[in-house]
Chain A
Amino acid sequence: MPTLPHLIRKNYQNNPDKTAIILQQAGQDDLLLSYADLVSGSYRYARAYQREGLQPGEVVILILNHGADLVFSFWGAILYGAVPAIMPFLTEKLSPERYRADLAALLLVTRPAAIVTTPEFESEVRAALSPEGSVRTILLTNQLEAEAAPDFEHLSSLQRDPEEVVLLQHSSGTTGLQKGVALSHRAVLNQLAAYRQAIDLREDDIVVSWLPLYHDMGLIAGFLMPVLNENTLVLMSPFDWVRAPYKLFQAVSKYRGTLAWLPNFSYNFCAQKVRERDMDGVDLSSLRILTNCSEPVKWESHEAFYEKFKTYGLREEVLNCSYAMAENVFGVTQTPPGTLPKVDEIDREAYISQRVARQPMAGKTVLKMMSSGRAIPGTRIRILNPDGQDLPDRVIGEIALQSDCMLTGYYNRPDATEAALRDGWYLTGDYGYSLDGEIFVAGRKKDMIIVGGKNVYPQDLESLAYEVPGIHAGRAVAFGIEDEKAGTEEVVIVAEVDTDDPAERQAIADALRRHISQNSAIALRHVHLVGPKWIVKTSSGKTARSANRAKFLEEVKLT
């Protein structure tokens, strides 16, 4: 079995002049990188890793903004045989202290040998290092030597075993101990082979992506797959996209893009915020598959998106869905190409109270569930009850999966790996039901909030709330509420305070909002300050989030 470096060598040798990546950056000309450019830029990093004494198999953390250096340092690590892990860059609103603390915690678990960053960011990275740490070198983007012809003969990476870990993907969690999902060459290549089949990937497909590369959807669908499969990739910055969502459509039109992946909220975001004048001359008829993935998929979001963009040549059957996770490298299910996702109309009340997806009787409120598609080749799915027994169609249970592309484990976290696997099956913690082989995802991991495609643990936000003066430990509760207009969840924090004074309450609310934003990069949409004994606790004294959510909604009458 080949490994990732073998494939890069093949693409470089067979098709050196083909455009591998078109990098877009606001205010700059598009930068076209051929496979020859990609390999020579990456080879400079491979040589630098060697010069710095990195050993193949050691982890290198990449802390870089969107751009050529991020691309080159990643593939350089692959070419050298080091294990890359891309981390988010510090954004302007996140507090440097929190970023440093999170990075320091991550370094102690992952124990990388090197970190790549920019000269401007070096001091920030150094501040996170500890004396007992593993980092031997910080490589700066201006410390590379001149380009040299790649010498594949002497690349030790080509001798690596397909079972060895090729990369780490840090998925969910806002603070502290994020879990690094360790993936082998074999897992990545099996996933790509299966996913290629699931979307009927073609030689002339062109991928357009604005997704961050530290997230599985961006890393696999929007980076590894096109680059390894010789499909040109148009890559823009998430930072630019969120300020100008129309740029995705302009890029599709300009380069005749055929494939893109988007989290559910961005369907609403684009439908609501893209202006006609920014769509002048835009033609979306080249799009073959637009996959909705990484948060619960909503039929209403597809509807709004299609209504808005059909006049620009968007075909309805292009709107497909996928259920995916880093633990399976990426895709678990996918809508069969050329078809519309199945929509199942169910009884809303029975869904909420009895956890079944029953067809509604006349007069009952209907909930439109949209299918995430069918299992991709090589992946098997079961819906289990709490005792681990299989459930029939239309009964909601935990989604479990087994495949030939599963994670090797959570890196340096055997405890977390053991907790997630049962008899070779990965328990996703997501809830859903099956119907004639289609998978409908009904809910998220217990209490987890998914906001804008990002997973957030309410416990993390509550711990932050307790750090705000005026809020006592155990007297705040965080939860998500559905925002139908945005197609995602909004974060709410309810906190009990002692003061009745409006000005003092205002000051606490402001401080809470600021503290959450600076320490989690999550926008706190609703701050609700209440008097003592408001928060509902369970008999064992734990905070009951769903009961508090219901009480909040009743009190503020949000719909």
Chain B
Amino acid sequence: MIQFNQVYKRYPGGHEALKDVSFEIAEGEMVYLTGHSGAGKSTLLKLIAAIERPTSGSLLVKGQNIRSIKREAIPQLRRNIGLIFQDHKLLFDRTAFDNVMLPLQICGFDHRESAKRVRAALDKVGLLAREKANPISLSGGEQQRLCIARAIVNRPTILLADEPTGNLDADYANEIMHILQSFHQIGATLVISTHAENVLAHLPARELHLKLGALQ
């Protein structure tokens, strides 16, 4: 599903964010990506979603080489990847419902079918009652759950979560982790970056540890 082979990522200016990274994630696997901030966790996730491209090495995501992927092919790749951001990246000019609707609009889904799916996604993260709320009126935990609903609404095969519990207290964090794990159980490939040790203890899975851009 995801295959890193001697991947390097060097940013303009010379900072080397990833060094000789090689690993493989199988379909339906759940993996933790750990390490201190600045270790390269975010860069690694950005490479998978083709937000950045590797400087050298090969990275295959669903059979596509991210180093040489054509610009026009990126949207189709990203529709198969659900992205969950630490800063949520929600749009405050529309309701919670419309935020979750956006990926389906982009894919050109029929409106009535979309509305059903949006409600199902909101229900899964426990926000069905807040569908008309503006995301700005939601708490941090609720915003994170809304971000998850948006990521899963068009049923991607890969879910990437960048520090999904970063700003949340333990109770909220556990809730988020359980929601994420439920998608793993129905077959999604899941990569979660985190620096919170207690999360790992709670829901054990394979761990990839990054240190200064290199895999330990």
Is B truly associated with A? no
